[in-house]
Amino acid sequence: MSDLKPTKPMSGFIELLPVQQRCFDECARRMQNVLKTAGFTHLDLPSIERAEVLTDKDNWDEIATQMYLFEKGDTKMGLRYDGTIGLARYVAGNINELVFPFRAYQFAKNYRGERPQKGRYREFYQMDLDVMGIGGLSKNYDAEIVATLSRAYESIREFVGGTSVRVGSRPFWNAMFEYLKLDASTSRAAFVLIDKKNKLGNAFAPALNDEIGVTASNEILKVFSDGYQSFLNKYDNFNQAIAELDNFMAGLTAAGIKNAEIDLSVMRGHAYYTGLVFEFFLDKFPELDAVGGGGRYENLVGKFSKTNIIGVGAAVGFSRMIIALLDENQIDLSSFESPIDAAVLVMGQTQVPYAMSVLAQLRDAGIVAVPYLDAEKKFKNQVEFADKIKCKYSIIIGEDEVKDKVLSVKNMATGTQEKMTVAAVISQGMK
């Protein structure tokens, strides 16, 4: 006999038990429902793209370490690593058919060929939402994106707890670097350190002194000690960036969002962000770091079209967030353990046609019903099945039930049993 093949998935790929999957699916459903209610169109884009779409690099060996790339005939292709590239291609290819501002969301699997570790997977679900405009896009949409995403997180509060959102500003820091007359290289070094401020802790100020000098460093440290508004009227570009932040926060307040605060250490690493940026955190689990974030970007489709598309968008690390909490048993799964309303137990092959008719009627009424159709099995086996699936009721169908056109209905919690018509069962609802 040959060796059995492995049953565990490859490292970095996720499989859930049924009760976990039901929780995962419910959280996804709730969050997507918020996005749909806000008028975001669901896009289901291909998971495979041409390699030239995924990257501008020509060195196949280098990019193969970061992406899943392969060849079919003469075509080089790869699995998407996030939702942005596919969205850019889609918008450029359908620009004359879309209505702008165009709002869309994706909930899809993405793939990254990196070393798997806690919270980082090779295959994972990500939720993306974007609003895009041709040639320009009101900054009011930045608040719209954050407000919508705040409500999406709020829809799953009972599972993940509350969230907070921290808001940063690329324009503010651009104004600061101009005000301090830092060159591009020094500005970049300051940018990197500010992005790492919370991780550096007490080492932040000395590192900043070493990188950009004491005078410039002191000005940046004032942002965190005295607040961003202390730079009002020091430089015109400061005034614009401060007004943008104030208007943004006013928009969130008007939308009923109370979990946002300005934190100018939030920089977001992606080079294409050009405006406000933001990150979401779980209040109960700060050790997970950001579980979502995004910002404003210029020229989304620049590599596909000469039309200038401005956008603001966000991504939710959905798998990363939910799987981490499931792995640590931080989500109460009790509400997902009994998804079955009724187990239909059939006491013989001749009773199967009646049982199938009953099943159809129950399901038409929205009652979740599962049959045990190994009708010749012992009654003991069937009852054990009903217990294991943790159904609320057992519906027993034997010769007498078929003859009298009734059902024997057992309440699995109380143990009581009574005969009822199908209509009576449906009227009761079995919930």
* Tens of pLDDT, residues 88-99: 999 999 999 999
Q: What is the pLDDT of residue 270?
A: 60
* Tens of pLDDT, residues 2-36: 689 999 999 999 999 999 999 999 999 999 999 99
The three-state secondary structure class of 196 is: coil
Q: What is the pLDDT of residue 52?
A: 86
Domains and CATH numbers, the chain: 13-45+80-159+283-337 (3.30.930.10), 163-259 (no CATH), 339-428 (3.40.50.800)
- Is pLDDT at 332 greater than 60 in this prediction? yes
Residue entry with tokens 């069937």: 382
Q: What is the pLDDT of the chain when averaged over all its residues?
A: 92
- The predicted model gives 357-368 an average pLDDT of 96
For 51-120, give the DSSP string: HHHH-S---HHHHHTTS-EEEETTEEEEE-SSSHHHHHHHHHHTTTTS-SSEEEEEEEEEE--S--BTTB
pLDDT band at 198 (very low <50, low <70, confident <90, very high): confident
Residue that wins the pLDDT comparison between 299 and 395: 395
- Is pLDDT at 56 greater than 90 in this prediction? no
- Out of 40-49, 185-194, 342-351, 410-419, least confident range: 185-194
- The predicted model gives 245-271 an average pLDDT of 89
* Share above pLDDT 70 across residues of the chain, in percent, rounded to a whole number: 96
Q: What is the pLDDT of residue 60?
A: 53
